[in-house]
Amino acid sequence: MPGEASAPDLIARGTPAFRRASLALVLASLVVFGNLYVIHPLLPLISQQYQVSTLQASNAFTLTSLTLGLSLLLHGPLSDAFGRRAPLIIGMAVTALLTLGMAFAGSFTTLVWLRAALGIALGVLPATAIAYLGDSLQRTALVSAVGLYIGGNTIGGAGGRLLGGFIADHFGLQAVFLIVGSGSLLCTLAVALMLPAARAFRPQRLSLGSILGTFASHLSNRALLPAYLIGGLNFMVFINLYTFITFRLSAEPWQLGAGSLGLLFLTYLAGTLSASLSGRVGTARATQGMAWGILLFMVGCLVTLTDQLWLIIAGLICNAFGFFLTHSLANSWVNQHAAHGKASASSLYSVFYYLGAAVGLYYLAPFWRFAGWPAVVAGSLLILVLNLALIIYMRRGR
Residue-wise pLDDT for 107-142, tens only, equals 999 999 999 999 999 998 887 877 787 778 777 676
Tell me if 389 is assigned to some domain.
yes
More confident residue, 329 or 335: 329
161 and 228 part of one domain:
no
388 and 296 part of one domain:
yes
CB atoms within 10 A of CB 302: 13
The proportion of the chain whose per-residue pLDDT surpasses 70, expressed as a percent, equals 93
Tell me if 202 is assigned to some domain.
no
Q: Closest by alpha carbon to 165, among 152, 179, 153, 154? A: 179
Instruction: List pLDDT tens digits, range 367-391.
Output: 999 999 999 999 999 999 999 999 9
Tell me if 2 is assigned to some domain.
no
259 and 174 part of one domain:
no
Q: How far apart are CA 302 and CA 376, in angstroms?
A: 11
68 neighbors 119 (Cβ within 8 angstroms): yes
Of 196, 229, 261, the last residue of a domain is 196
| CATH number of the domain to which 316 belongs | 1.20.1250.20
Contacts of 185 (CB under 8 A, 6+ apart): 93, 96, 97, 100
Of 196, 229, 258, the last residue of a domain is 196
Q: Closest by alpha carbon to 95, among 53, 142, 36? A: 36
Per-residue confidence (pLDDT) for residue 4, from 0 to 100: 41
φ and ψ of 137, to 5 deg = -110, 150
214 and 177 part of one domain:
no
Lowest mean pLDDT among 27-31, 81-85, 201-205, 271-275: 201-205
Mean pLDDT score, 327-353:
78
Per-residue confidence (pLDDT) for residue 143, from 0 to 100: 58
Tell me if 94 is assigned to some domain.
yes
Helix (H) / strand (E) containing 38: none
215 and 145 part of one domain:
no
DSSP bridge partners of 137 = 11
Per the structure, how many domains does the chain have?
2
DSSP bridge partners of 75 = none
354 pLDDT band, cuts 50/70/90, is confident
Tell me if 1 is assigned to some domain.
no
170 and 251 part of one domain:
no
Check pLDDT > 70 for residue 263. yes
147 and 85 part of one domain:
yes
37 and 101 part of one domain:
yes
Per-residue confidence (pLDDT) for residue 64, from 0 to 100: 92
Check pLDDT > 70 for residue 317. yes
Check pLDDT > 90 for residue 17. no
In which domain, by residue range, is 222 found?
209-398
Instruction: List pLDDT tens digits, range 292-312.
Output: 999 999 999 999 999 999 999
189 and 213 part of one domain:
no
Q: How far apart are CA 43 and CA 54, in angstroms?
A: 7
Q: How far apart are CA 332 and CA 346, in angstroms?
A: 9
The proportion of the chain whose per-residue pLDDT surpasses 90, expressed as a percent, equals 39
396 and 316 part of one domain:
yes
Of 155, 175, 196, the last residue of a domain is 196
Instruction: List pLDDT tens digits, range 62-109.
Output: 899 889 988 988 887 777 778 788 888 999 999 999 999 999 998 999
9 pLDDT band, cuts 50/70/90, is confident
Tell me if 204 is assigned to some domain.
no
Q: How far apart are CA 395 and CA 398, in angstroms?
A: 5
Q: How far apart are CA 46 and CA 108, in angstroms?
A: 8
Q: How far apart are CA 110 and CA 316, in angstroms?
A: 33
Quick check: helix, strand or coil at residue 106? coil
Dmax (CA) of the chain: 68
DSSP bridge partners of 11 = 137
More confident residue, 155 or 290: 290
Per-residue confidence (pLDDT) for residue 307, from 0 to 100: 92
Tell me if 89 is assigned to some domain.
yes
Lowest mean pLDDT among 26-35, 179-188, 251-260: 251-260
249 and 184 part of one domain:
no
Residue 239: DSSP 8-state:
H
Per-residue confidence (pLDDT) for residue 250, from 0 to 100: 87
DSSP structure string for 273-311: HHHHHGGGS-GGGHHHHHHHHHHHHHHHHHHTTSS-HHH
